[in-house]
Structure formats: C-alpha cells, structure tokens
Structure 1
Amino acid sequence: MSVARTARWKALAAAISAVLVGLTLPTVAATPASATTTAYDSTYYKNAIGKSGTSLKSSLHTIISSQNKISYDAVWNALKVTDQDPGNSNNVILLYSGTSRSKALSGGDLGDWNREHVWAQSHGSFGTSAGPGTDLHHLRPADVQVNSIRGNKDFDNGGSPVGGASGSYTDSNSFEPRDADKGDVARMILYMAVRYEGDDAWADLEPNDSVSNGSVPYHGRLSILKQWNEQDPPSAFEERRNDVIYGTYQGNRNPFIDHPEWVEAIW
C-alpha cells in the first residue's frame, strides 16, 4: 500500500473515531444483582409484586398469614423432613454447625439435637404454642449444647468461638452464626417480623438494632441481619426447605428466600 493511501486510511479512521466519541448512546438500567423472579410471582405473590416499604410488608403479611399450624410435638418429625441431609437421608443438617447428625438422636441429652427457635421464644413470650412457637420457617435442628449457648441472644458479629459450632461466635449478649448460616438466620428473623404483626393472639414482632432485647418482642441487630442477607444468598438447601414447608406442612412461604431483595425494599 502506498504511503499516500496509508495516510488517507489513517485520516478516515481518525474522522470516524471522532464522530463515535461524540455520540451519546442510550443507557440501560441495570437490574440489581439480588433481584429475582419466581414461579410464584404471578400467583402466590401477585398482590405484592411492584410494591415497597410498608405497602410491601403489609401485602406480604396478608399473603403469608394464611398458614396451617402444627403442634410442638409434630415439629420433631417435620424437622427430619425439612432439614434432611441431601447426602444421607438418615440424618439432618444442624444449624450453626453444619453437622450431619442421625435423625434418631433427637432429644435433650449431650450429643442430641433439639428444636432451636431462631426468633427466641422469650422475645415476645410466645413459648411453644401453635403459631410462632411452632412455625417451621424459624425452627431448625441444632446441637443441644450449641442451642443452649445461643439461648435467647440477639444476633451480631463478634465474640469468642463456640465449641461444637466452628465458625460461630458469641459474647454476653449476642450470637454470630457461621458464614453459611448467616443469610438463613437473617431471612428467618425477618420472616417472623412480617408474619406476626400483632393482629392475632401474638405480639407484634419487629427487628431493631439492639442486642439487649430480653423479653420484648424485638430482635436485633437489623443492620447486621441486612448485611448477612446480602452476604449469604439463599442456598439450594434453604430453597428446598421453603418448598417443603409450603407444600407439605404450613402452606405458606418465606418471601425473603424467594425474593432476598425484598429485605432492602422493606427495611
């Protein structure tokens, strides 16, 4: 190619480049990374789609309040189904430790697993009565000793390592679950805050940013729970659990497993 022709091509390329630089291309709004759609959006959640804030919270409360209640004794067998180890049908996976333990070891002795109320029973004084006390969306199998260590503490970061639950920590007034359970805990707590609004026989359960809630119907810390929801998205185990509770036991869903972005939309 001649020197003159090369020069002409370079000049043309430069001209085209200058035109392109001056163009303003339309921007496309990005979809939030955590936004999801589910098969239930046009049916189960149809009255909540598109809402936010108190309007979304109120709509979800109405939706998930349609619920079949089970007895506290029935929870034992239900947890053997909802929390079954995907790799061993004879075992359940324990909250806070991730340990796979025999379904037969349910009870109150050292080495057993028992029924952990993630929203502590004393935070609203609902005990084990049918309703919040037996709601499978926040009841999980946990090691007896680890369950005792957690007690009725609020959730927060920090503390000393918890024996028998590697990756979990605790101090005098709070409990931090291992990373793989952080999102689960957040979504269970916030489910309870939407399901139980004080318009039935139970207290109005609400999240706050305290770690000294004691027996009042609040659970914290909300700011940390929101972080955990983002940090630990719903797993296949958590999603299956939601489906089993909906299809086999209670007939209602935890909306924050289906739509984790609704946590930020409400709080």
Structure 2
Amino acid sequence: MSVAQRGRWKTWAAISAALVGLTLPALTAAPAGATTNAYDSTYYKNAVGKTGTSLKSSLHTIISSDTRKISYDAVWNALKTTDQDPANSANVLLLYSGTSRSKALNGGDVGDWNREHVWAQSHGSFGTSAGPGTDLHHLRAADVQVNSIRGNKDFDNGGSAVSGAPGSYTDSNSFEPRDSDKGDVARMVLYMAVRYEGGDGFPDLEANDSTTNGSVPYLGRISVLKQWNEQDPPSAFEERRNDIIFNSYQGNRNPFIDHPEWVEAIW
C-alpha cells in the first residue's frame, strides 16, 4: 500500500469511527388511516391534529355554528335533491333497501317512501321540530314499510331478514342495514352525537353500547357502528350528499364523511 493509499485509509477509518453509535433520524409518516380534505385548511382548521374529547368539542363548535334549519315539510323536497338516484334524476335511492323509486311517490302508503330519522326521534324525544328533527345529515328517504320495521330500534348485527330490504336484518331491539348502508348509518348517528350536545335547547345525544335505549337520548351499539364505519367507507353518493347539504341547505358538513378516521380518534 502506498503512502497516499495509507493516508486515505486512515481518513475513512477516522470518519467511520466517529459515526459509530450515531442513529439516523427516523422517517415520519402520517397516522394510519389519515385522510386529507379540501376543507382542512378552512372549515376544519381548528380540528385538524386533535383527538379524543378535544376533537369532539372542536367539531361540535364547527358543525353547530352559523347553521340554517329547515321545516319538516321542507324535508320532502330536500330529500328529492340530496337522495337523488345518480342513474335516474326522476328517482331517489332508498336507505336500507337500495331501491330506486319515483320522487313523486313520497307519502305514507304502501309503496311510498317517507322520511327516516336514522337517529330515531324518540331517542331524546325531539320530534320533528326544526333542529335534530329536521337535520338532513341523518334524514334519508326510505320505504314506508321498511322504515316501520326499523322503528326506533338501536343498530346491531343479527336477526331475521327484513322483507323489502335484502341484506338487512332485525330482531326485537336492533336493526342491521345492508352492507352498503352500514357506514352511512354509522356516520349519520355519530354526526348527531357530536352536533347535539345539549347546549341549544335540544337533548345531549350520545352513542353508547346498548340496544335497549328506549326513549333516553342515546343510540347504540357504538362498538358495532365503529366496525361499520371501517367496513363501508364513504361512497360518492354520501360525499355528494354532504356537499349538497353544506352548500344548499344547512351550511354544515358531516365530518365523518370527510374524515372517517375521526370516528376512531374520538371513540
């Protein structure tokens, strides 16, 4: 080895020795399941990055501020827009059954569609007053008979098949929607649990893990709703609906459609 080679070798040996024991900084990554949304820097700017009760409180403030309310009668026409069948503008798509039905067939007779309160109005006794009773984020078009079968039951897995709603099941105290509606239902229920916290003359609505809630302002089963949110991510139908309610009716959004991972971050 020449003198020059020995010099270069000693230099590299010194550098290597100096690096021994040093740890390179770890690469950072976004939290698992995190999503980004066009409203993160504006509408959700005070919620992004938070978790738990802090996130829930921030979202409540965001989605309850400067909102508009509509009457229960006005819900009929609103649903004809929010629930319009993308494949047939003369029809609405019905929750629980997936049936496409004429917008003109709204009413209370067999074969009609009516206004389903996904958060059953008896769970808190808020009725059809402007507010939770007319909040479009949990009101959906549904077949009259299927709506009656669901009644005011909590949500859970299992039961007997529901006539007129293939893939849906029910028992004495719970209702299971078909797979493609499971996430929709979960995100509507959890929106209500954040939107209505008892500070505006309406009851404090909360999701719990019971299926025997009766008339108290609770709705379950939260453990199953969380599974459904994961199992059935937001669809283009849900996203379009969220935009319409925000832009044309209430001026607020369902944050769990924009950020489904916030369900796990809160509950």
Q: Tell me whether the two structures share a fold, i.e. TM-score over 0.5.
A: yes
The corresponding residue for 1:44 is 43
Whether 2:232 is the aligned partner of 1:232: answer yes
Residue 79 of structure 2 aligns with an amino acid whose one-letter code is L
Q: How does 1:226-265 map to 2 (within 5 A)?
A: 226-265=226-265
Shift of 1:35: 1.5
AA matched with 1:149: I
Amino acid of the structure 2 residue aligned with 1:97: S
Q: Secondary structure at the match of 2:133?
A: coil
Q: Partners of 2:107 and 2:186 in 1: how far apart?
A: 26
- The letter for the 1-side match of 2:200 is D
Distance 2:196 2:156 in 1: 22
| 1:7-34, Cα deviation, whole Å (9 max, x unpaired) | xxxxxxxxxxxxxxxxx98754554553
Instruction: Determine the C-alpha separation between the residues in 2 that align with 1:266 and 1:259.
Output: 12
| Aligned pairs, number | 245
SS of residue paired to 1:191: helix
Looking at structure 2, the residues matched to 159 and 25 of structure 1 have their Cα atoms a distance apart, in angstroms, of 55
SS in 2 for 1:91: strand
Alignment correspondent of 2:212: 212
Distance in 2, Cα, partners of 1:144 & 1:33: 40
Q: Deviations over 1:164-194 (max 9, x none)?
A: 0000000000000000000000000000000
Does residue 1:188 correspond to 2:192, yes or no? Answer: no
Q: Where does 1:105-184 land on structure 2 (aligned, <5 Å)? A: 105-184=105-184
Aligned mates of 2:230, 2:103 — CA distance in 1: 31
Amino acid at match of 2:40: D
The 3-state SS of whatever aligns with 2:237 is helix
Q: For 1:63-102, what aligned pairs fall within 5 Å after superposition? A: 63-66=62-65, 67-102=67-102
Runs of 4+ in structure 1 deviating by more than 6 angstroms, as ranges, are: none
Q: Which residue of the partner structure matches residue 5 of structure 1? A: none
Q: Quote the Cα distance in structure 1 between the aligned partners of 2:117 and 2:263.
A: 21
**RMSD (CA atoms):** 1.3
Deviation of 1:69 after TM superposition, in Å, equals 0.2
Q: Any idea what SS the aligned residue of 1:257 has? A: helix
Q: How many angstroms apart in 1 are the aligned matches of 2:178 and 2:161?
A: 10
| Structure-2 residue corresponding to 1:34 | 33
Q: Distance in 2 between matches of 1:221 and 1:254?
A: 20
**TM-score normalised according to structure 1 size:** 0.89
Gaps of 5+ in 2: 1-22
Q: Compared with structure 1, are the counterparts of its residues 32 and 180 closer, same or farther at alpha carbon in structure 2 (3 Å cutoff)?
A: farther
**Partners in 2 of 1:198 and 1:149 — Cα distance?**
29
Q: TM-score, normalised by structure 2?
A: 0.89
Q: Point out where structure 1 has 5 or more consecutive residues left out of the alignment.
A: 1-23
What is the rounded CA distance, in whole Å, between the counterparts of 1:229 and 1:188 in structure 2? Answer: 10
Deviations 1:185-242 (A, max 9, x none): 0000000000000001100000000000000000000000000000000000000000
Q: Distance in 2 between matches of 1:231 and 1:81?
A: 27
Question: Given residue 139 of structure 2, which amino acid in structure 1 is its aligned partner?
Answer: L
